[in-house]
Amino acid sequence: MKKTVINGVNYYPHSNGGGLVAETAVVSRTAYIGPDAKVHDQAKVSGNASVHGTAEVFGNVLVFDDAEVCGKAKVFDDAKIWGRTKVFGNAKVSGNTEVCGKAKVSGNAMVYDNAILTDKAKIYGYAEVWGNAKVHDQAKISGNASVHGTAEISGNVEVSGYADVTKEIDGSEKVTDNA
């Protein structure tokens, strides 16, 4: 098995796909790590999850079930990606975020801090969901929209353009157009 050293850490090709896995990471045999993908640090990839394209996972990330991280996506910190979720394009998921169910994060979208994205929710474009925000059901966040604070977006709604949706700690809600 050919070893590759990156920043002083030994990486080995995964048996299912050939992508590089740090000796400090844990990847199950059933997971797929594509030939140009990397699993770093203490990340764990299990079940039928896949990391492919030039995607990378770092930190203490958990990717499991049938979740997919692909394209040029990056998942890091303590994020959890599971279910039939797909993170792709140039998307970034970080912090203590959970992306689960059949949710999708794509384009240049970012989900971070303690945000939760679940069910069939979609975040794409340059949209951001952060803080303690929750997006679920079939909600869509797109364009340059931002959902943060303790805001919760649900149902079959779309937040787009330059919209900024937040719910402050004091319970007050704000929806603004930052165009």
What's the pLDDT score for residue 123?
Answer: 98
100: number of CA atoms within 13 Å, CB side?
Answer: 12
Helix (H, G, I), strand (E, B) or coil at 15: coil
Residues β-bridged to residue 63? 45, 81
Contacts (Cβ under 8 Å, ≥6 apart) of 155? 137, 138, 139
Q: Which amino acid is at 67?
A: A
At 42-94, the pLDDT tens digits run 999 999 999 999 999 999 999 999 999 999 999 999 999 999 999 999 999 99
77: number of CA atoms within 13 Å, CB side?
Answer: 12
Helix (H, G, I), strand (E, B) or coil at 157: coil
Do residues 19 and 4 make contact, with C-beta atoms less than 8 angstroms apart?
Answer: no
Helix (H, G, I), strand (E, B) or coil at 165: strand
Mean pLDDT of the chain: 94
List, for the chain, all residue ranges whose pLDDT scores fall below the cut of 50. none
What's the pLDDT score for residue 72?
Answer: 98
